[in-house]
Amino acid sequence: MSSTPEVSSLPRGEDNQPLPIFSGSASINDSNPTPSATQTVGVANEGDDTDTHFQKKKRVKKSAVWLEFTEETINGELKARCNHCKSVLKVHKSGSTTHFNRHLEACIHRKKNQIQLQQ
C-alpha cells in the first residue's frame, strides 16, 4: 500500500486539477512559499476605506417580543420601549430577548390590554 492518496480522492481546484500537497513548513529558499499562521495576507493600506467590509451584519429580528417593543436610541445607547407601559429596557449586544419576555410576563398594562381584548 502506498503512502500517497489516490488521485481521485485529492482536493481539486477550479480547473478540476488536483491541488498541490504541502508537507512541513515552507523555507526561505522556496520559490512559492505558503503563508504561515503569523503572516498577514492581503493587508489593505491604511488610507483605504475597507472598514465597511468588517462591520457586523444587522440580523433580522425573529423573536415575537419585537412585536411588543419599539427600538430607540437614547443617549447613544440602543434601548427598547415597551408598547404597553412605556418602560425602557437595554438591548443587549448578544441579541438576547429573555429579559424582554420576563418583562412582558410581569407587565400589568399588557395584562389589562389582553383582558380587554378577550371581552
Residue 70's pLDDT band, with cuts at 50, 70 and 90, is very high
- Domain ranges, ordered by start, for the chain: 64-118
57 or 72, higher pLDDT: 72
Q: What is the pLDDT of residues 28-39, one digit of tens each?
A: 554 555 555 444
pLDDT at 20: 65
Q: C-alpha cell of 96?
A: 438576547
Q: What is the torsion angle, in degrees rounded to the nearest 10, for the CA atoms of residue 70, residue 74, residue 76 and residue 79?
A: -40
